[in-house]
Amino acid sequence: MAIGEFSPAYADPPPVDVEKIKALEAATLAAYPRPKNLRITDITIPGSQRQIPARLYQPIDESGDLLTGPLPIFVWFHGGAFVHGDINMGEAEFTACEVAAQANAVTISVDYKLADADVRFPCCQVDCLDSALWALEQSDSLHANPEKLFVGGGSAGAYLAGSVSL
C-alpha cells in the first residue's frame, strides 16, 4: 500500500470469520440472563464533538425503585482495537450488567466514536472524556457519588480508561 492508502479498519466487507464471530457473540448475548435488579436505558450523552450513544445501568430495589445511594459510578469503554466493537457486544454488556448488579454501581457503557480511514485520534478519547465528565456533572440526578467515579475498559477500552483517568 502507498502512503495515505492505509485504513485501520478491515476491508469492506469484513472477512467471513469476523461475521461468524459476530453471529456467535450475538447468540451468546441473546442467551445472557440479565440481572433482575437493574434498570437499563439507552441514553445519549451531549459531547463536545457529537452526541455520544451510551447505555445506563441503574441498580433498583425489589419494588423496582432506583437505589438512592449515593452510589459509585463506573464508566465502561468497550474493546475492539479502536476500529470495531460497541455497547452491544458481550464484553460490554456482560461487564456493565454484572458491575452494576453486584456492586450496586451506576454504570455507563460508552459507544465511543471508532477510528476509520477518515476519523483518527483523538476521537475515541474525546468521547470517553466527555462521557466521564458528563457522569460527574449528572451525579446528583443519577443518585451517584462524584467522589467515587471509576473508569474501566477492555483492550482498547483499557487504554481509553487509562488516558481518561490521567
Residues lower than pLDDT 70 in the chain: 1-16
pLDDT at 7 (0 to 100): 40
- Strand residues in the chain grouped as ranges (E): 38-46, 51-59, 71-77, 106-110, 144-153
Amino acid at 142: L
What's the CA gap between 102 and 100, in Å, rounded?
6
pTM: 0.88
- Which phi and psi (to 5°) does residue 72 adopt? -65, 160
pLDDT at 104: 97
